[in-house]
Amino acid sequence: MNGVDESEWNEARDLDLRGLKCPLPALMTAKALRSMAEGEGVAVVVTDPLAPLDLRHLCQRDGHEVRAERAHENGARQLLIRRGPR
């Protein structure tokens, strides 16, 4: 996860889920990933402290990849997720 450059973040779709509580961030991320092509990325911003864990479980279960995670403004977290094979 350390080899991600800024261009990968910039090319990803933005999904702002700040203020939403579990399970909504995972459900909305799963819905967004279903509409994407394999290899596409989405940058998800969440404020729920449990959401990064839920998103990691979603990716593990459904074959997607969490490429990176970083701090975002006002205590939010941002995860870069790559769509896995269908």
Catalytically active residues, by annotation: 22
Q: Which amino acid is at 67?
A: R
CA–CA separation, 79 and 56 (whole Å): 9
Q: Which residue has the tokens 């800024």?
A: 6
